[in-house]
Amino acid sequence: MKNTEFKVTSLLEEYKRRDEERREFIIHEGCTAIEEIIKEVNQRGSLNEADIYYGIPKPQLSFSDVELGYMLTSMMEYATNHVGNPVDEECELENKLAYFEYKDEIVQIFEVYGQGTDSWFLKPSDDTVYKLYNTAYGVYLNQFDDFINYTINKENESKKVSSSPTILNDITGRYTVGRGSK
């Protein structure tokens, strides 16, 4: 039993550590990262983690493929939770899209599902940009600054929770059990 408890605890601690790393990167490097992403997308047309290893020419980024993954995942989660996601009807695979604006530039995230998930940043078409600015489709346009502020707020909430003592309540509410008690 203790071995199982240790594995679950280790897994949860690892998840928490990665989540903290992701938020720290976004909060402290997010604006620089999105500027570099937009620059590369404008030059290349798209950008994903594999481009860092196999791209010709190599992208000029000040961050790693893991950190690019943090941006892709976090931005897509934010869009999904705040405005929902349109889909590309022409794509045969299940997919979803997200759009972010930063300093009058728009970047699109395209995520597809098949025998796994793959996602990448790309430059939206002129038609899509027109729809985002001039039609009801614009509801899907996220402001990158709002995403950063949301991440900062989540970090502040996390710090408040972790600084308070952890007490688990019994379902019946008859007594409380401190962390690590049996």
Q: Dump pLDDT digits (tens) for 98-146.
A: 999 999 999 999 999 988 889 999 999 999 999 999 999 999 999 999 9
Q: What does the pLDDT read at residue 175?
A: 45
16-48 per-position pLDDT tens digit: 888 888 899 999 999 999 999 999 999 999 999
d(CA 70, CA 33): 11
Percent of the chain with pLDDT over 70: 84
Tokens 């019994």 correspond to 170
The answer as to whether 128 is a domain residue is yes
Residue 58 structural domain: 2-156
The answer as to whether 177 is a domain residue is no
Counting the structural domains of the chain, the total is 1
Label residue 180 by pLDDT band (50, 70, 90): very low
- Is the pLDDT higher at 2 or at 41? 41
Label residue 167 by pLDDT band (50, 70, 90): very low
Q: Averaged over 87-102, what is the pLDDT?
A: 95
Query: How many angstroms separate the Cα of 170 from the Cα of each of 135, 140, 157, 163?
Result: 52, 42, 24, 22
The answer as to whether 86 is a domain residue is yes
The answer as to whether 18 is a domain residue is yes
Strand partners, 119: 111
d(CA 76, CA 79): 5
d(CA 42, CA 54): 18
Is pLDDT above 70 for 164? Answer: no
The answer as to whether 174 is a domain residue is no
d(CA 26, CA 74): 9
The answer as to whether 62 is a domain residue is yes
The answer as to whether 44 is a domain residue is yes
The answer as to whether 181 is a domain residue is no
Residues ≥6 apart with Cβ < 8 Å to 141: 83, 99, 100, 101, 106, 132, 133
Q: Averaged over 156-163, what is the pLDDT?
A: 70
